[in-house]
Amino acid sequence: MKKKAAKRRVRKPAEEFDFRGGVRGKYAERYKQGTNVILLEPDVARWFPDSASVNEALRACALILQSRSQKRVNGKSRNS
């Protein structure tokens, strides 16, 4: 004797999500440009409350690295 298949409840989208007030294609242009998602370890994430603070810190590091590499190209080394 076969067991009866359990009835599956079909959910309507309105039961879970409310899309009223949503804007179609709101992020489409940004999505086309591509994204870089980077996961921070919890101890690092405590220092950066949002993406703006991460970007600010990375830009500062990039400027330091850029200036150091330019000094080396110009013949000025840290060790000399």
- What pLDDT tens digit does each residue of the chain (80 aa) get? 667 777 777 766 666 778 888 899 998 888 888 878 888 999 999 999 998 999 999 999 999 999 988 877 777 655 55
The letter for the amino acid at 67 is S
19 Cβ neighbours under 8 A, 6+ residues apart: 13
Q: What are phi and psi of 14, to 5 degrees?
A: -65, -25
Cα gap 51→57, rounded to integer Å? 10
Predicted TM-score (pTM) of the model is 0.47
Type and span of the H or E element at 35: none
Q: Return d(Cα 31, Cα 33) in angstroms, integer.
A: 5
Which three-class secondary structure state does DSSP give residue 75? coil
